[in-house]
Structure 1
């Protein structure tokens, strides 16, 4: 499955082969003697599509294993078989099970507690915008979120998250620039408890001045606010970079899930294919545009269809 997904995504990046990586396989008539060449070509397509090396290798190996011992007489059968083996390989890679955030809010609500979610990731990936989108998403579902401005290192970060909170219509808990980020997060959790709010969304710094260690700061915020979920926000367009960042955050503070922004513009699909596989954590939401409503819960079936669709055209705006 993994292979399929990646393949498809990669091809669509070229804009030549319609339908992505899969059509690349389907457009050829494969014969037994061609299979290794096709698999090599597939691996190259995946790597060009910014799919992590270990994931590309896994996809190709999976297709190879699936084909061993299969006696296929007609070349069109081989083509179909290779296509479906690829799709299966990709599906396996993108289907990492995880609880939905909505279910988790309900579980915590039953205990009379808010769900506390801490967002981590490098600056510029759309983290703060994503927090605004999620506040809006859950407000519309009838919950009352509160946002914590725990990126206290830049005045601009506090202003930005306040702007989103005001636009969406939720309370923001903030201290002045330079104050303790963990204290802001703690105050937001206490506020939610006191006011019966069901969801706390904690924004955190994505960079530090040289004298402060980013990961140490994240660990401290995590220790103090005791989040139920630590979510890494990555930019789908950056592909391998996002996957590497996720790996680093996961090693340092053990993230629980991923939100990919700019997924609508992720023509190659390398990030969506790689990130879950590499850190073995589920993708929870995808940012698919600039507006507050442009967020969707991740669905591996939907992603598989995107990766293997017949149409390359994605008419969604890039996310801010």
Structure 2
């Protein structure tokens, strides 16, 4: 999902890094280090892994202070084992080696390798047999330390970085200025607009990122990537998190009052509105509620048969009249049926209509007036991008919608509608359609959305 948008976000980081490194080269203000470069998306992943590691440490009762002791102990015994093998022919040498090994860690802390070797030669000059043994141990120690350091260094690089190439480190401190981000953020804004993100949303993201980045002090090129990642993530988090009650919470509130929750669905033809009603009926049926569907699309040929097919497949009651009958009357009968039978949810299907069709929009207002729904939900096709946002705006002006359901979100590579629609109309996205089956619907969660946009791997969709 949203692959195109994710690439644009990542490119913003790369572009800014290129700008600042080019300036640093001209100022002779950088040096090159060998190593691997962390990717844009790795910053979020690493933070999550660090949290997991710390929680495991706390649960197991381990502390960071104990780790060096464990490492020294492991190194000591492995070396002693090697020494024993080499000196197996000498009787009585085990005790001497044992004494030396116990003292060595203390010597390492006090002084470096060469000074320690010099002291050992002076102190043990009277012993003819021990010099060779100590000499052998001293020669091997730097190899052990270098080997251990080499592998641990490579391991650290593999864990914390991705990709190949030089990693530039700034020798003197630099500060991100407006001139550094000007071209980069213009390119980001154009990229967002190309991805069907609404103009006001693209501007809001760019302004937020600019405010977050300008004035930041950097010493390493990796700082640029991390700061850009955090700035973009914070900007998008503000955009997609529109507060609102979930449909499930509202069902519980109405149930406590002894009333059903009445939900009216609106939108243009072809967005998957009727199929979405079938998915929601199945979703809440599995949660233990009893929905009823009102077939209030009495204009379109085959509409009543279509919604009846979905109702039969999921096993819920449908209220319907003859084709061409008053759709408001069908909605009214469905609400009365739910009240009489103690059902918790009424799902009203309406005729798809263009927002410019005045007669059909007036008919929709009549259905709302008669059925008095608790929620009016706009169903939009995520693949239509900015068109879905504009449709939601028109329906909101005409009938005052309460929330949005986006269909085909799983096939949306751009992400423009998902990013824009809630922010523009100031109404929450309630569900996302993520497939063709009745189970392929998901309650919208802003944190899940962020993970989709700011992770390299696809996040598994769970109910």
TM-score by length of 1: 0.89
Say which structure, 1 or 2, has more relative contact order (CA 8 Å, 6+ apart). Answer: 1
Q: Distance in 1 between matches of 2:345 and 2:220?
A: 57
Q: Distance in 1 between matches of 2:305 and 2:412?
A: 28
Are the aligned partners of 1:264 and 1:314 in contact in 2 as well (CA < 8 Å)? no
Q: Distance in 2 between matches of 1:139 and 1:240?
A: 33
Q: CA RMSD in A?
A: 2.0
* 1:304 shift after superposition: 0.7
Number of the residue aligned with 1:95:
241
* 1:112 shift after superposition: 0.5
Number of the residue aligned with 2:111:
none
- For the pair 1:195 / 2:186, whether they are aligned, the reply is no
Are the aligned partners of 2:297 and 2:351 in contact in 1 as well (CA < 8 Å)? yes
- For the pair 1:248 / 2:394, whether they are aligned, the reply is yes
Are the aligned partners of 1:243 and 1:271 in contact in 2 as well (CA < 8 Å)? yes
Number of the residue aligned with 1:238:
384
Are the aligned partners of 2:12 and 2:185 in contact in 1 as well (CA < 8 Å)? no
* 1:22 shift after superposition: 3.1
Q: What count of residue pairs does the alignment treat as equivalent? A: 301
Number of the residue aligned with 1:3:
none
Are the aligned partners of 2:294 and 2:320 in contact in 1 as well (CA < 8 Å)? yes
Are the aligned partners of 2:452 and 2:459 in contact in 1 as well (CA < 8 Å)? no
Question: Superposed, which structure 2 residues align to 1:18-37 within 5 Å?
Answer: 19-28=6-15, 29-30=17-18, 31=20, 32=176, 33-37=179-183
Q: Distance in 2 between matches of 1:315 and 1:111?
A: 37
Q: Distance in 2 between matches of 1:70 and 1:213?
A: 56
Tell which structure's C-alpha radius of gyration is larger: 2
Are the aligned partners of 2:265 and 2:377 in contact in 1 as well (CA < 8 Å)? yes
* 1:23 shift after superposition: 2.4
Question: Superposed, which structure 2 residues align to 1:116-195 within 5 Å?
Answer: 116-195=262-341
Cα 1:42/1:212, change in 2 over 3 Å = closer
Structure 2 residues without counterparts, runs of 5 or longer: 21-175
- For the pair 1:13 / 2:159, whether they are aligned, the reply is no
Q: Distance in 1 between matches of 2:363 and 2:385?
A: 26
**Pick from 29, 44, 50: which aligns with 2:190?**
44
Cα 1:200/1:49, change in 2 over 3 Å = same
Number of the residue aligned with 2:31:
none
Cα 1:229/1:235, change in 2 over 3 Å = same
Q: Please give the secondary structure, in 2, of the residue aligned with 1:175.
A: coil
User: CA deviation digits over 1:74-125, x for unaligned, max 9?
Assistant: 4331232122111100010000111111111111011100000000000100
Are the aligned partners of 1:97 and 1:282 in contact in 2 as well (CA < 8 Å)? yes
Q: Please give the secondary structure, in 1, of the residue aligned with 2:187.
A: helix
Q: Distance in 2 between matches of 1:86 and 1:13?
A: 15
Greater Cα offset, 129-138 or 31-40: 31-40
Q: Please give the secondary structure, in 2, of the residue aligned with 1:107.
A: helix
User: CA deviation digits over 1:18-64, x for unaligned, max 9?
Assistant: x5333223445252453222111111111111101111111101111
Are the aligned partners of 1:25 and 1:79 in contact in 2 as well (CA < 8 Å)? no
Q: Please give the secondary structure, in 1, of the residue aligned with 2:447.
A: helix
Bigger fraction of residues in helix: 2
User: CA deviation digits over 1:225-274, x for unaligned, max 9?
Assistant: 00000000000000111000000000011000000000000111000001
Greater Cα offset, 253-262 or 61-70: 61-70
Cα 1:211/1:264, change in 2 over 3 Å = closer
Structure 1 residues without counterparts, runs of 5 or longer: 1-7
Greater Cα offset, 210-219 or 239-248: 210-219
Q: Distance in 2 between matches of 1:153 and 1:212?
A: 15
